[in-house]
Structure 1
Amino acid sequence: MVDVIAIVGPTASGKTALGIELAIQLGGEIINGDSMQIYRGMDIGTAKVQLEEMGGIIHHLLDIREPDESFSVAEYQQLVRSKIAEIQQRGKLPIIVGGTGLYVQSVLFDYRFAEDQADSQLRHDLQAELERVGKERMHLKMLALDPAIDIHPNNTRRVLRALEILLSGEQKEDGSLAQSPMYNELIVGLDMPRAQLYKRIDQRVEVMMQNGLLEEVKGLYDNGLRDVQSIKAIGYKELYAYFDGIDSLEEAIEKLKRNSRKYAKRQLTYFRNKLPVLWVDATAGNEKNVKEITRFLQETDRNRRIEQMAITKR
């Protein structure tokens, strides 16, 4: 029996709605799997599920930090594993819903973190590698580990710091991150034709603007929120550039759309390369996909599921 389900996929692919429908059908509770939805007051730009959309399903780990607080994948791992145990004790099915691949991976697999992330030897090795291969290669290495990180390639100090934290996870002898499963999990990925996805992303940005994204970001800006993790998120940094007088509003919106499309592409690359995912058609509708997922669960054990997932990636 599956004891944890994760719903992943690119931004704007419909993860929230599918997760809720699946929770209704299977008796589940939802755990947030988005690194930015943990922040209070950042609702529109993160596409955070609203109370009226929840369908009576309990949601966990939303609004657990203030926007000026930091939050790490190690903290997320600890919190979610505790929530999974709590939900299972109530006889419910934990369903992680979100697009932050490294967060999901760190929970479901044996991804360990060193007690001291500021490991001096690792920092020395990364600096030596930077001098050997250059900043562009190091930036690509960072994105391969976490596509959601938004740091400019020229900001080598922050790139190295991000790599230092990401690579503090325990590694196998071959250098790859440990992939032993912690649960009898099923990871479901939503996919659709790229042109259709990009159109949905652009439309969602327009809806966000209509729903008050500009005002939401202005509130953070006016409160003096600067140089913190939360406002580096797509949807916030672009409008900060507008308020700083760097871009016009039209330019900021266009950058927001473009950055969202690029992020979606990186998300898909991460999920396809890093996780065993059962891919379903996001355009098929939630009713059909819930039936497909339920049938899949009933017909296959874990080893068989992984074989079937491999087929869906081809």
Structure 2
Amino acid sequence: MKNVIVIVGPTAVGKTKLSIDLAKCFHAEIISGDSMQVYKGLDIGTGKITEQEKNGIPHFMLDIKEPDESFSAAEYQTLVQKHIEKINDREKVPILVGGSGLYIQSVLYDYNFNNRKRDNQKTKKLEQRLQAEGNQALYEELKQIDHEQAKKIHPNNYRRVIRALEIYETTGLTMTEIHQQQKNSPRYNHIIIGLEMDRKTLYNQINKRVDQMVAEGLIEEVTFLYNKGYENCQSMKAIGYKEIIPYVKGEVDFNIAVETLKRNSRRYAKRQYTWFKNQLDIEWFQTDIYNNTPFQSIVHTIENAITKKYSIPC
């Protein structure tokens, strides 16, 4: 089996720094596990790594889509599995880093998306209902049908809501039931490292990170994308963009927009923790505001599970 190292955790917990340190230590290359960093131009709001931060380490699954293009877990799975094969063939270790849990899980456990083709007729009817009844009505219906799946989807992410309802209408199975039927055996020889932080400290970090994003030009980034006509695209539904658009349009005060972004980011981090702890077998390690981690313990955990090959001594 091919080797894969995975680093997960909530936003602002320090995954990027750890991934670079581990990539230097192991003979490794990095694959983004973030569903929104695939979009070009969505840099500040997604916390995308900079060229300087990459420190010469190859990175994949960044900037591969235009902001008006769609993207799915199935497409992510296909592309990432190809990268994993190629990296291993180069006798290097892929490090999959991110917070998009379902995307990462679909890669590791080889979810079979392709055998559930979309029923275009049912999708069209659901889209018509969306126009007539609104997002919330369809979301409430999904909550009644599949409460667990509904908890993973934001009510405004109408594409995922419609997809979940369409699958239920087509197959008679909920997304939760389908996920439970997936193969339990992993596709790769992998180890998942999770970073966690005291909740109060993490929330303070998230608040500071939002302030830093604003200082680095988040408002200007969102304004540029809005002026390009991307407001209603899938990419702009991401946290960091949907909260700022109302300010750009003059509908809310600046402080309200920023506070909403902080609140939604904190709530997202909480959902990420819940999902990871319920869905994946993870080796958790504590970190702090300085991104201090028990690095040698993490290295030894990976070494024992995956490989003893190093590019340079740690």
TM interval, shorter chain, is 0.7 to 0.9
The residue aligned with 2:198 is 193
Q: In the TM superposition, what whole-angstrom CA distance separates every residue of 1:141-199 from its partner, at most 9, and x where no partner exists?
A: 3344xx3x43249x6x8623245469679947xx4433220001001111011101000
User: Normalized against structure 1, the TM-score is what?
Assistant: 0.83
**Paired residue type of 1:295:** H
The residue aligned with 2:246 is 241
Q: Do 1:9 and 1:267's aligned partners in 2 also have CA atoms closer than 8 Å?
A: yes
**Paired residue type of 1:114:** N
Cα distance between partner residues in 1 of 2:23 and 2:17: 10
Report SS of the residue matched to 1:12.
coil
The residue aligned with 1:282 is 287
Structure 1 residues 16 and 240: alpha-carbon distance in aligned structure 2, compared to 1, 3 A threshold: same
Q: CA RMSD in A?
A: 3.0
Report SS of the residue matched to 1:29.
strand
**Paired residue type of 2:86:** E
Structure 1 residues 176 and 194: alpha-carbon distance in aligned structure 2, compared to 1, 3 A threshold: farther
Q: Do 2:286 and 2:293's aligned partners in 1 also have CA atoms closer than 8 Å?
A: no
Structure 1 residues 26 and 234: alpha-carbon distance in aligned structure 2, compared to 1, 3 A threshold: same
The residue aligned with 1:273 is 278
Cα distance between partner residues in 2 of 1:182 and 1:54: 28
Report SS of the residue matched to 1:224.
coil
Cα distance between partner residues in 2 of 1:120 and 1:217: 32
Alignment of 1:287-306 (within 5 A): 288-299=293-304
Structure 1 residues 26 and 158: alpha-carbon distance in aligned structure 2, compared to 1, 3 A threshold: closer
Q: In the TM superposition, what whole-angstrom CA distance separates every residue of 1:110-160 from its partner, at most 9, and x where no partner exists?
A: 31113443248998xx99xx99x845445743344xx3x43249x6x8623
Q: In the TM superposition, what whole-angstrom CA distance separates every residue of 1:44-89 from its partner, at most 9, and x where no partner exists?
A: 0000000001111100110000000001100000000000010011
The residue aligned with 1:15 is 15
**Paired residue type of 1:229:** Q
The residue aligned with 2:310 is none
Which structure 2 residue ranges, 5 or more long, are not aligned? 130-136, 169-173, 308-314
**Paired residue type of 2:287:** A
Quick one: which of 135, 138, 142 aligns to 2:149? Answer: 142
Q: In the TM superposition, what whole-angstrom CA distance separates every residue of 1:25-61 from its partner, at most 9, and x where no partner exists?
A: 0110000100000000110000000000111110011
Cα distance between partner residues in 2 of 1:184 and 1:205: 36
Report SS of the residue matched to 2:294.
helix
Structure 1 residues 114 and 43: alpha-carbon distance in aligned structure 2, compared to 1, 3 A threshold: same
**Paired residue type of 2:59:** H
Q: In the TM superposition, what whole-angstrom CA distance separates every residue of 1:3-25 from its partner, at most 9, and x where no partner exists?
A: 10110000000111101110110
Quick one: which of 218, 223, 227 aligns to 1:218? Answer: 223
Cα distance between partner residues in 1 of 2:220 and 2:54: 24
Report SS of the residue matched to 1:71.
coil
Structure 1 residues 194 and 170: alpha-carbon distance in aligned structure 2, compared to 1, 3 A threshold: closer
Alignment of 1:36-51 (within 5 A): 36-51=36-51
**Paired residue type of 1:24:** K
Q: Do 2:74 and 2:114's aligned partners in 1 also have CA atoms closer than 8 Å?
A: no
Q: Do 1:5 and 1:187's aligned partners in 2 also have CA atoms closer than 8 Å?
A: yes
Report how far residue 283 of structure 1 moved. Answer: 1.8
Q: In the TM superposition, what whole-angstrom CA distance separates every residue of 1:239-273 from its partner, at most 9, and x where no partner exists?
A: 11112232111110000000000000000111001
Alignment of 1:31-110 (within 5 A): 31-110=31-110
Is residue 227 from structure 1 mapped to residue 232 from structure 2 by the alignment? Answer: yes
Q: Do 1:114 and 1:169's aligned partners in 2 also have CA atoms closer than 8 Å?
A: no
Is residue 114 from structure 1 mapped to residue 114 from structure 2 by the alignment? Answer: yes
Is residue 161 from structure 1 mapped to residue 138 from structure 2 by the alignment? Answer: no
Report SS of the residue matched to 1:237.
coil
**Paired residue type of 1:87:** I
Report SS of the residue matched to 1:22.
helix
Cα distance between partner residues in 1 of 2:252 and 2:39: 26
Indicate the larger mover: 25-34 or 277-286.
277-286
User: Normalized against structure 2, the TM-score is what?
Assistant: 0.83
Which structure 1 residue ranges, 5 or more long, are not aligned? 303-314
Count matched residues.
290
Q: Do 2:84 and 2:94's aligned partners in 1 also have CA atoms closer than 8 Å?
A: yes
Report how far residue 2 of structure 1 moved. Answer: 7.6
Cα distance between partner residues in 1 of 2:246 and 2:88: 44
Report how far residue 295 of structure 1 moved. Answer: 1.3
The residue aligned with 1:184 is 189
Report SS of the residue matched to 1:64.
coil
Q: Do 1:202 and 1:257's aligned partners in 2 also have CA atoms closer than 8 Å?
A: yes
